Structure 1
Amino acid sequence: MSSRTVLTPKTEPVGADGYTLRERSWKREADKHVQALNVMLAERGAPIRFGYPAPVAVPFDGPGPDEAYAGALPLDDELADVLALSTALLQAARTGTEDVADERTLLLKRAALTDRLALATPHDTTAQSRAIREAHILMTFDVVHHTGRGEFAADSIEADGAGGPRAYVRQEYAAWHVPIPPGEGI
């Protein structure tokens, strides 16, 4: 019996094209799927075509926390403001006079508050997941009500990647500080 070396991903030889044999076979399969997708898109009259590897949008960074939260209330005052807005919205809901703009303001301030708390405690995984959850709530609201103000929409591919939801909150918070010109409101 001859001794054969076992090929592993670390020991497999790389060809002139930069791929291992295994990677080359995966690429061939991916190329077949991309070709089939492009045929289907052409049959349906879609103007787009895909290549391999498929282009991936880089998540936008949005404004940095210092820029986005410049002039924001201190955390304890912001928390008190969020609680006051929550109470006011609850009262408005009971009387049937709730306003979309007030609800968005609450969601934006709540998402910004949890983002700022997560920034203050970077190793607290609970704070990080709460910030992402609140960001998704704001993003969902903005998609449903078309209320986003920033450069990237809540349902854009840029806001979908890692860091995107919290960057979206910062983008929206920074835009919220900028006064809206007369005649252009929510």
Structure 2
Amino acid sequence: MDLPGDRGEDIDVSSPHEAYADAPALRHEIHQVLALGAERDGRRPRTAGAPSIDAATDSATRSATPSATAERAWLLRRAALMDRMALKDPDPGPAEAAAQTAGQLVLHDRRHHHLAAGPHRPDTVALPRDRRLYVRQEYAAWVAAGRPGAA
């Protein structure tokens, strides 16, 4: 049974073009997300002089634990990257990967609701297609907040 808001009709977010207008080039972002993942997993030490991936600059993230903030920055950037790649490729594989990584961000934000920045809260996102809209909302808010946690 569909509930109001579950069909994506009430989720009013920026278009992908608007949400990702200030995003780095795909190739650059792929390298950055891979590097953040390696730092996150301990496969690569943080580069000397580089900002920590858990650096927080806005009031919403200052109250979060560094590990939750760092994890969210990585999840958000990875989900946005996968969404952008899926928008360029009409095959179902990239869309499924984008929905999966978006779902991981939604689950993280449900546990750490204070990190979510947009008007549509993660606990209202039910359908996979709406999770990608949530990623766009959160990416736009993250950029507007000065990219807290970005390396």
Query: What TM bracket, shorter-length normalisation?
Result: 0.7 to 0.9
Q: Corresponding residue for 1:102?
A: 70
Q: Which of 79, 94, 100 is 1:111 aligned to?
A: 79
Q: Does 1:86 align with 2:37?
A: yes
Return closer, same or farther for 1:91/1:152 CA change in 2, 3 Å cut-off.
Answer: same
Residue 143 of structure 1 aligns to which amino acid in structure 2? R
Q: Helix, strand or coil for the counterpart of 2:121? A: coil
Deviations 1:131-163 (A, max 9, x none): 00000000000001112111101111xx22362
Equivalent residue letter for 2:129:
G
Q: Is the 1:132–1:166 contact (alpha carbons within 8 Å) kept by the matching residues of 2?
A: yes
Aligned to 1:128, which of 95, 109, 118? 95
Deviations 1:42-95 (A, max 9, x none): xxxxxxxxxxx9863341142110110011001110000001111111229x9x
Counterpart-to-counterpart distance in 1, 2:2 and 2:81: 36
Q: Name the residue aligned to 2:28.
A: 77
Question: CA offsets per residue over residues 79-128 of structure 1, 9 Å max, x none?
Answer: 00001111111229x9xx96211110000000001000100012x11101
The answer to whether structure 1 residue 65 and structure 2 residue 65 are counterparts is no
Alignment gaps of 5+ in structure 1? 1-52, 181-186
Aligned residue for 1:23?
none
Which is higher, the Rg of structure 1 or of structure 2? 1
Q: Which amino acid aligns with 1:144?
A: R
Show the counterpart of 2:61. Answer: none
Identity %: 37
CA RMSD, aligned part only? 2.4
Distance in 2 of aligned mates of 1:54 and 1:84: 40
Paired positions, count: 122
Do the aligned residues in 1 keep the contact of 2:103 with 2:128 (CA within 8 Å)? no
In structure 2, runs of 5+ residues without a counterpart are 46-53, 55-65, 147-151
Aligned to 2:4: 56
Contact 1:62 1:167 in 2 (8 A): yes
Take 1:100 and 1:177, find their aligned partners in 2: how far apart are those partners?
Answer: 18
